Amino acid sequence: MLGFVRNCCELDNLVLNYFVSEGLKDAALAFAEDSGLEVPHCNYYLAERACIRDAILSDQCPSAITLINDIMPDFFESHPSALMSLLQRQTASLIGRGQEDEALELVRVHATALVDTNPSLLPSLESLMLVFVAPEAKAARQFSDPAFREGVASSVNAMLLQAMGAPSESQLSTLMRICFCLQDELSASAKLKFPRVTEEALLAGHLFEGEEDDQREAEADKTMAVE
């Protein structure tokens, strides 16, 4: 992946672009100060997108909807799936707090009305109804999963960027996706063996797959040598 980056300044710009693109305002400002860069003036409502992300992650979906309507009043008309995702998360949050009646009213008034004007969202509504009739079903439990909340925040942010005419994906994310595709292509067509960069390894703080195991083996060898 680093072959796409020629110097540290370009790498810093990639990281800053990632923070701005993802709506991570505080991280963008802190990194810009540390690296001597400036946050771009054209940052596509960075502060507002940061508030929207925070609202979604803190289960304040009504606030997120209000904030989105404030900056882009027509957004949900052109992106009804975003509104459905927010309603799904809000419904699960209400049920989690024991407010089943409020959750059912939310679905009856808002989710069903959304499907009336957007029939393609009917499967999403049917999945949501499972939280009432079969709460232990996998399809129902997904709405309470923190990963679903993170996914909603990221997808809404990407849709907002796209609606503003900005790239919906950061440059760093694009490079990583290209890297993963090239690895798969090399592994499948050329049948080459090489250290693979994986999302799981990166999340664990390592560059290559298996690097953590190699470190453990090296530490074990050192311990045995000392003994």
C-alpha–C-alpha distance, residues 89 and 154, integer Å: 13
pLDDT digits (tens, 9 = 90+) for 21-31: 999 999 999 99
Q: Given this model, what pLDDT does residue 85 score?
A: 97
C-alpha–C-alpha distance, residues 49 and 157, integer Å: 7
Q: Which of 8-17, 50-59, 105-114, 156-165 has the lowest mean pLDDT?
A: 8-17
Query: What is the residue-averaged pLDDT of the chain?
Result: 86
Helix axes of 122-133 and 80-96: crossing angle, nearest 10 degrees: 0
Q: How confident is the model at residue 2 (pLDDT cuts 50, 70, 90)?
A: very low
pLDDT digits (tens, 9 = 90+) for 77-119: 999 999 999 999 999 999 989 999 999 999 999 999 999 999 9
Q: Which one of 3-12, 59-68, 128-137, 169-178 scores highest in mean pLDDT? A: 59-68
Name the residue ranges covered by the structural domains of the chain.
45-165, 172-226
Long-range (24+ apart) CB contacts under 8 A made by 65-71 are: 68/156, 68/160, 71/45
Average pLDDT of the segment spanning 127-142: 88
- Burial bucket for residue 132 (CB in 10 Å: 0-12, 13-18, 19+): middle
Q: Given this model, what pLDDT does residue 10 score?
A: 84
